[in-house]
Amino acid sequence: MDLRIHRRALLLGATGAAAAATTGLKTPAVAQNAPIRLGWLTTLEGPFATGGQDSFRCMQMLLEQHNSQAGGRRIEVVRESSNAQADVALARARKLAEQDRVDVIIGPLSGAEGIALRDYSRTLSGKTIVNGSSGASDTTLRNASPNFFRFSTDGTQWMAGLGNHVRRTMNVQEVAVLAGDYAFPYAQVFGFSLEFCRAGGRATYLFSPLGTTDFSSIIARIPRTAGALVVVHGGTDGLAFMTQYAQAGGNLPLLGGSIMADQTMLSARGPHRRIMMGMVSAGPLADVHEEPSWKEFVARYRARWLNEGGFQSPSIHGFNYYTALQGVLMALEQVRGDVGGDQKAFQAALAGLRFKNAMGADLHLDHNRQAVSDIFLNRIEERDGRAQTVTFGRTPQVNQTLGVPEAQFLALGAPSRDNTGCVAAS
């Protein structure tokens, strides 16, 4: 099946195993005829296209498992593609909501896209947007929308534990942070720096625009005093940087942002794989994790997709979209497929969900409809003849302010290239 779809709407047919029905509940009469329409919006163009393809794979796998039904009603899917740019994501979301008349949108993938859809969701009546994989912290932390829900942790949360590990366990005093110059990397940089600098670390920050292909000037500016590199890039940007750093003979210990140490990078061929061995990162998942639910999920993913363009294990984007769809299907079961009444009952069901994600981590939403869940420390190792991320640490129930009181955290200001979160402990 070809998942490289560009601005093409597709109705997803029903295949797979039967859905688990909610016992003792009668299905509303509307379920006999009208399907629930889900809009799936991800990035199939631009630097994160491979992650976007995996997002569709993981959601389709889950929907097939549920026989394309929820709450006694058939599910129809309309797919749309963005290119990681906020204006394009907004245009595609408008098409889904206003022309295709979907009931729920699941997406987008990238940080600035998420903020744009958060703002758009405020204008929608009787519709809901559930975040796909976009990880900018401000999407839900500031100016949260009652119509926007995020079942994945954000970019700041994904770095929980890494700053302390680098400073206190690895005993690195100074790092160079190389990051993309847009909303998601700002969140990751902030999460890392908040811990690292409060533990006494120092950092130099080198930002580059999304879509950069030549990193030679950035590499030349890495301070000689740096004891390690923190690389917060992903997709084709991450591949370009790591390839050029390897070719330049770079040999500093590497620490990865969450979308750097991912199968979208590790599955690509090139000199970058040699220097990535041993890289430590943090995030919501890993390739190798001993939780039975994760092993079962990876086995199902490989059986379904390995021969159709899939990775050896799901990408971070695929995992996050899968978790988002889990939440949507559970809430639809609770309300027996009823998405009427301005979706108030459906949204209340979403807000009240508590479940374990595929990694076996407990997950619930906070007052801003933002996920609180576990974050893992990972190391890239050679396992079964290929590079894989392996969990070695776990930070339980990480909230969006990393345990800092919310008013105090908000007073630090929004993450940006000029507000990196590097504040020394008082």
Calpha distance 135→251 (Å, rounded): 29
* 243 shares its domain with 352: no
Using an 8 Å Cβ cutoff, are 34 and 85 in contact? no
Q: What is the pLDDT of residues 268-287, one digit of tens each?
A: 888 888 889 999 999 999 99
Structural domain includes residue 69: yes
Per-residue pLDDT for 5 more than 70? no
Residue 260 has what pLDDT?
87
When divided into structural domains, the chain yields a total of 2
* Phi, psi (degrees; rounded to nearest 5) at 282: -135, 155
Residue 20's pLDDT band (cuts 50, 70, 90)? very low
Residues 137 and 211 in one domain: no
Which residues are bridge partners to 417 per DSSP?
none
Q: Please write the tens of the pLDDT for every residue from 65-93.
A: 999 999 999 999 999 999 989 999 999 99
Q: How confident is the model at residue 403 (pLDDT cuts 50, 70, 90)?
A: very high
Closest Cα partner for 180 from 246, 249, 235? Answer: 235
Mean of the per-residue pLDDT values of the chain: 90
Q: Are both 183 and 315 inside the same structural domain?
A: no
- Let me know whether 175 and 198 are in one domain: yes
Q: State the CATH number of the domain containing residue 204.
A: 3.40.50.2300
Residue 403 lies inside a defined structural domain of this protein: yes
Q: Do 346 and 36 touch, CB atoms closer than 8 A?
A: no
Q: Is residue 10 part of a domain?
A: no
Amino acid 261: pLDDT: 84
**Statement: residue 10 has pLDDT above 60:** no
Domain that holds residue 300: 29-154+292-372
Question: What band does 168 get if pLDDT is binned at 50, 70 and 90?
Answer: very high
In a domain, 7, yes or no: no
112 and 173 share one domain: no
Domain presence at residue 6: no
**Is 60 exceeded by the pLDDT of residue 30?**
no
Residue 23 resides in a domain: no
- pLDDT higher than threshold 50 for residue 387: yes
Question: Looking at the structure, do residues 379 and 361 belong to the same domain, yes or no?
Answer: no
Looking at the structure, do residues 191 and 140 belong to the same domain, yes or no? no
**What pLDDT does 376 receive?**
97
- pLDDT, mean of residues 198-215: 96
pLDDT of 19 over the 50 cut: no
**Average pLDDT in the 376-387 region?**
93
Rounded-to-integer distance, Cα 246 and Cα 239, Å: 11
| Tokens, residue 411 | 């007073």
Q: Clarify whether residues 47 and 137 are in a common domain.
A: yes
Task: Look at phi and psi of residue 399 and say left if phi exceeds 0, alpha if psi is from -120 to 50, else beta.
Answer: beta
The answer to whether residues 190 and 319 belong to one domain is no
Q: Report d(CA 61, CA 149) in Å as an integer.
A: 22
The pTM for the full model equals: 0.88
CA–CA separation, 40 vs 42, rounded Å?
7
Same structural domain, 380 and 358: no
Express as a percent the part of the chain with pLDDT over 70.
92
Say how many C-beta atoms besides its own lie within 10 A of residue 199's C-beta.
Answer: 16
Q: Give the pair of three-digit tokens for residue 341.
A: 């009444």
Angstrom distance (rounded) from CA 131 to CA 120? 13
Q: Answer whether residue 273 is part of any domain.
A: yes
Give the confidence band of 426 by pLDDT, cuts at 50, 70, 90.
low
Could you tell me if 90 and 141 lie in one domain?
yes
Domain assignment of residue 9, yes or no: no
| Same domain, yes or no: 167 and 138 | no
What DSSP string describes 160-203?
A: TTHHHIIIIIS---EEEEEEESSHHHHHHHHHHHHHHHHTT-EE
Looking at residue 24, its pLDDT comes to: 35
The residue out of 325, 350, 372 marking a domain boundary is 372
